[in-house]
Amino acid sequence: AQTVTQSQPEMSVQEAETVTLSCTYDTSESDYYLFWYKQPPSRQMILVIRQEAYKQQNATENRFSVNFQKAAKSFSLKISDSQLGDAAMYFCAYHHNTGTASKLTFGTGTRLQVTL
């Protein structure tokens, strides 16, 4: 079974600085997708970024980028120029497409604090 591990329960970053959240996963599949979701205090889950495993190029979305190391099964999220609104719980998630039965496997989350 696939597992997703987020080893940092909490992280803190100063406003305007850069922070990296780590995520590792375990799978025997070669074709899959990885995601980072953000859950702010409102508890709305927001898609931050996604990465297709078959793409070597790291995904980027504005201030958010990933470091995808397929061989190491690592998928870290880098937040640049951190803003107060980035404070949230961040979940890493894995998806392998097995048709209608496929589902997301979530990590335990990392709580990010942004300080002035």
- Residues forming contacts to another protein in the complex (CB under 8 A) are 33, 35, 37, 42-47, 50, 91, 95, 97, 100-104, 106-109
Compare residues 19 and 35 and give the one whose CB is closer to another protein. Answer: 35
When the beta carbons of 86 and 107 are compared against another protein, the nearer one is 107
What does DSSP say about strands 10-14 and 110-115: parallel, antiparallel, or unpaired?
A: parallel
Q: Got the DSSP string for 28-64?
A: S-SS-EEEEEEE-TT---EEEEEEETT--SPPEETTE
Min dist CB 74 to another protein, Å, is: 19
From CA 23, how far away is CA 44, in angstroms rounded?
Answer: 21
Nearest approach in angstroms of CB 67 to another protein is 20
